[in-house]
Structure 1
Amino acid sequence: MGNRILVVGTYDTKNDELAYIAEVIRRQGGEVVTMDVSVLGDPKVPVDLSKHEVVAAAGTTIGAIVAAEDENVAMQAMARGAATLAARLHSEGRFDGVLALGGSMGTDLALDLCAALPLGVPKYVVSTVSFSPMIPPERLAPDIQMILWAGGLYGLNPVCKASLSQAAGAVLGAARAVEPPSRDRPLIGMTSFGKTVLRYMVGLKPALEARGYDLAVFHATGMGGRAFEELAAQGAFAAVMDFAPQEVGNHLFGSAISAGPDRMTAAGRKGVPQIVSIGCYDLVDLVGWHPIPPWLADRPAHAHNRLLTSVVQTAEERRELARVIAGKLASAEGPVVFLLPTQGGNEWDRPGGPLHDAAALAAFVDELRRGVPPNVRLVELDAHINDPDFTDAALSVVDEWIASGVLPQP
C-alpha cells in the first residue's frame, strides 16, 4: 500500500502550510518526504531534500542562480532540478505520490515536476492559480489533479485549511488505491470520439482483446491527444490506431481545443507501428461557449453540447490538412498503414447527413493520394469509417503484423 507522499514547496515562506499538509497526511497513517524548493531563504525546520540537492540536480548552485538576479531564471533552474530529482527518487521507490503547493511561481515548478513522473503516480497541485487560463494545457501531466488554494496567499486560516486538508487526504488516498498501468499484455493506443460519431472501437476492442492485446481509447479533444502522444513517446504502446486526427486540424486552423503542434509525431519518432485514418478529420472543434469566429460563422456546424461545437472545413482546408498529415507521417521510423475510407470519416458526413460535403471529401482524398509519402502504405476502402469493412481492414493489418513479427505475439 502506497503511503509515502513527497510534499514540495518553498519552506522558507510556506513552512506553516506545508507542515499542516504533512500533519494531515501523518494523521491518516501516511509518511512524508519533504522537498524544499526555496531560493533565498532557509526552512524553519530540517527537510529531507534540501534546496541545495534540488538545484544540484539541475547542474548549478544556489549561489549561481541568486547571482543572476532574476527570479524567473532562478525558479526555472529549481524546476529542472526538482523534476530531475523527483523522477530519480520515484524510480528508486522513495515515494508513492506527490503534493506540491504554490502560487504562480510554485505552480510553474510543480507542473514540470509532475510531468516528469509516470502515468499512475498520484500528482496533486494546490495552487492559487488552479484552473486559470494562464496554465497552458500542454504543461499538464495526463493524470494531474489540481485544487484551488482558496484564501491561501498568506498564512494559514480556516478557509485555506479546507483546501489543504482535502488535497492531503486525496493524494494519500490515491497513492493507496491507484492501480498503475500493467504491462502484462501488449497495449494498443487508439484515438476516437464517442459512439454517436465514431463506432469502430465497439468492434475492435473485443477483437483485439481476443488476440491478447489491451486497448486504451483516447478522447481526441485536446487533453486526450496530449496523453496519447505522451504515452506513445514513453514507448507504452505496442502499436497505435490513430483513427481520429482531428486535433491536427484543430491546431492547424487555430482552435483552442488542440493537442499541440507535435500531435501525430510521437509514435513515429519512437518507431511504433501505426495504423492511421480520418475520423472527424473534416471538422474543426471550437469551445462551445465561445463566439464562433467570424471567418467560420457561415459554415455548417454541429453543437455537440454546451462545451463543444464543430464546424466543417472547406475543400481547400482539407487539402491543406492532407498535406500536413502526410508531412507528419513522412518522418515515422516504424511501419505506417493509412486506411482511407473514401465514403467518409464520421457519422454526420454520410450522404444525406447534416455535414455531408462530397466535393470536399473528394478533394481530401485526391490530395492524400498525391502526397502520401513512400514510407506509408495507403489502403483505400470503398466504405465509411463506421462500416464493418473498416474494422475488418484494421484487424487484417494487425493480423498481418502479428504474423510477420511487427507486433509482439501475446
Structure 2
Amino acid sequence: MKPGLNILIIGTADTKADELQFMKQCIEREGARAAIMDVGVLGTPAFDPEISNAKVAAAAGMALKDVATLGDENAAMTKMAEGAVRLTLDLYAKGKVQGVLALGGTMGTDLALDVTASLPLGMPKFIVTTVAYSHLVPPDRLAPDVMMILWAGGLYGLNSICKATLSQAAGAVLGACSTVVTSKSARPRVAVGGLGKSCLSYMVELTPQLEKRGYEPVVFHCTGMGGRAMESLIEQGTFVAVFDFALCELSNVLRGSVVNAGTSRLETAGRLGVPQIIAPGASDMVDVQTWAPLPEAYKGRPYHAHNRLIASVTTTHEERRELAGFVAKKVNSAKGPTAFLLPLKGIHAWDAPGEALHDPEGHQVFIDEYRKLIKLPVDLRVLDMHINDSSFVQEALGIFDHWVETGLIQSGVPTTTGV
C-alpha cells in the first residue's frame, strides 16, 4: 500500500455511526488514515466526526440550524451536498484526500453522487448504497469512474452481512488508491464514440490513424454509461476534439429506453466550443433488454438480438423525424467547429442489405430530414458511402487534418511507438 493514504468517509453520522466507524476501523487497520464527514442534519452523533455537519453546512453558506429549518428534507440534503462538494474539492486540491468512500440509502446516495461527480477521473470514489446500479440513478448524475456496491442487509445497524459489504468497500477504495495510475497523457487526447466492432467498425481504422498523427484516441462504448462518461470527460477539458459517430443513446432517450446517457448527450462539446465531427451512427434503432418482454409498441418491427442483454428494433419514419430534429437542435447550437457527416448507404452494420434492420425507406427519411435541418456554419457532408467504409474514415480525417492545419485543433505529439 502506498504510504500516507487519506480516505474521506462521507455519511450521516447521526443514523449511520456504527457503519461509518466500522469502515474507518477497516481502513486504519491497513495502515491508512480515514476522516469522517458528517452530512446529517437533524440528529446528534454519538462520536465526534473529523468534519462536522456544522462545517458542511457552513461551506454551503448556511448555519446548520437554518438548514434543519428549511422544512423539506430534499432541500436540506441538497444544501448539505453543496457544502460536502466544496469541502471535498478543497481537501483534494490540497492533497489531503486520495480517495472517497460514501455510504447511504437514497438520501445519502443522492448527496454522494454530487460529491463523486465533482471529482476528476482517476481519483478513487466508491459508494456503498441501497440503490447500487439502480435505474433510480439517472446516468447524468454518475461520475465516469464511480464504483458502487449494494449495501445488502445493512440499512439499520451492523450485522455479519453488512460487515462483509462495508469491509469490501473499505478494501476496494484502499486498493484503488494504492494502484491507480494517474490519468495523464503526453499526447493530446481525442474522444471517439463507438458501439462495438460488430456494429460500428470505423474505429479499427480511425484509432491507429489518430495515433500516427500524435494523438491518443479514447473510444467510448455508447450504451448509456459510455456516452455519459464521454460527456463528463469533455466537460473536464480532457479532449482536443471529438469524433461523435454513435448517436444511438439519443434515440434511446427519446423512446424511454434504459440504454441512454441522459438528455444532455451531444451538448457538452458544442457548449464548450470543442471541435467535433458528428455522424448519426446506429441512431435509427431503439435498444431494449433482450431478457425482457418486447414492449407492445415494438412488436412486429425488425429485431436484432446482439446478445442476451441487449437487442434493437428499428424506429418508425415519424420517430426518425423526431430524432433528426432533436439531434439537429443540439448540433446547430454548437459554438465551436462542427461537421456533420451523413452516409447515404447506411449507419451501422445491421442496416446493410440482407441484415435484420435493413430499411432503405426509413434511412431516406433520415437523409431528407438532416438535409433540411442542419444549418450553417455546421459543415454538412452528404456522403455516398456507408459509415463502416474506409472512405468514411478518410473523409472524417480530412476534416480533422484541415482543422489541425488551420490551428483549430492542437497539433499532435510525434511518437515512434504508435501507441
Interval containing the TM-score (normalised by the shorter chain): over 0.9
Deviations 1:178-215 (A, max 9, x none): 11321421111111111111111111111101111111
Give the Cα separation in 1 of the matches to 2:406 and 2:54. Answer: 52
Give the Cα separation in 1 of the matches to 2:356 and 2:404. Answer: 40
Deviation, structure 1 residue 314: 2.2
What's the secondary structure of 1:238's corresponding residue? strand
Deviation, structure 1 residue 258: 1.4
Deviations 1:299-343 (A, max 9, x none): 101011121110011233222222221111111000101112111
Letter in 1 for 2:274: V
Quote the residue 1:60 is aligned against: 62
TM-score calculated relative to the size of structure 1:
0.96
Quote the residue 1:234 is aligned against: 236
Deviation, structure 1 residue 43: 3.1
Q: Return closer, same or farther for 1:370/1:70 CA change in 2, 3 Å cut-off.
A: closer
Deviates more, 1:314-323 or 1:143-152: 314-323
Q: Does 1:109 align with 2:111?
A: yes
Quote the residue 1:3 is aligned against: 5
Superposed, 1:352-363 pairs within 5 Å as 352-363=354-365
Deviation, structure 1 residue 121: 1.2
Letter in 2 for 1:233: E
Quote the residue 1:84 is aligned against: 86
Deviations 1:37-75 (A, max 9, x none): 121233333322111111112111111022223322222
Quote the residue 1:12 is aligned against: 14
Quote the residue 2:99 is aligned against: 97
Give identity over the alignment, percent.
Answer: 51
Equivalent pair of 1:99/1:123 in contact (CA under 8 Å): yes
Equivalent pair of 2:36/2:51 in contact (CA under 8 Å): yes
Equivalent pair of 2:281/2:348 in contact (CA under 8 Å): yes
Quote the residue 1:137 is aligned against: 139
Long gaps (5+) in structure 1: none
Give the Cα separation in 1 of the matches to 2:81 and 2:312. Answer: 38
Aligned match for 1:34, one of 26, 33, 36: 36
Q: Does 1:223 align with 2:222?
A: no
Aligned match for 1:119, one of 118, 121, 135: 121
Equivalent pair of 1:33/1:95 in contact (CA under 8 Å): no
Q: Does 1:153 align with 2:155?
A: yes
Equivalent pair of 2:56/2:83 in contact (CA under 8 Å): yes
Give the Cα separation in 2 of the matches to 1:307 and 1:159. Answer: 29
Quote the residue 1:372 is aligned against: 374
Deviations 1:104-131 (A, max 9, x none): 2212211111111111111111123323
Equivalent pair of 1:233/1:269 in contact (CA under 8 Å): no
TM-score calculated relative to the size of structure 2:
0.94
Equivalent pair of 1:38/1:51 in contact (CA under 8 Å): yes
Give the Cα separation in 1 of the matches to 2:386 and 2:122. Answer: 36
Q: Return closer, same or farther for 1:17/1:190 CA change in 2, 3 Å cut-off.
A: same
Equivalent pair of 1:322/1:368 in contact (CA under 8 Å): yes
Quote the residue 2:23 is aligned against: 21
The Cα RMSD (Å) is 1.5
Q: Does 1:167 align with 2:156?
A: no
Equivalent pair of 1:84/1:116 in contact (CA under 8 Å): no
Number of residue pairs the alignment of both structures matches: 410
Quote the residue 1:297 is aligned against: 299
Equivalent pair of 1:249/1:321 in contact (CA under 8 Å): yes
Letter in 2 for 1:320: E
Deviates more, 1:123-132 or 1:366-375: 123-132
Q: Does 1:385 align with 2:387?
A: yes
Deviation, structure 1 residue 88: 2.2
Letter in 2 for 1:392: Q
Give the Cα separation in 2 of the matches to 1:154 and 1:353. Answer: 53
Give the Cα separation in 1 of the matches to 2:253 and 2:172. Answer: 34
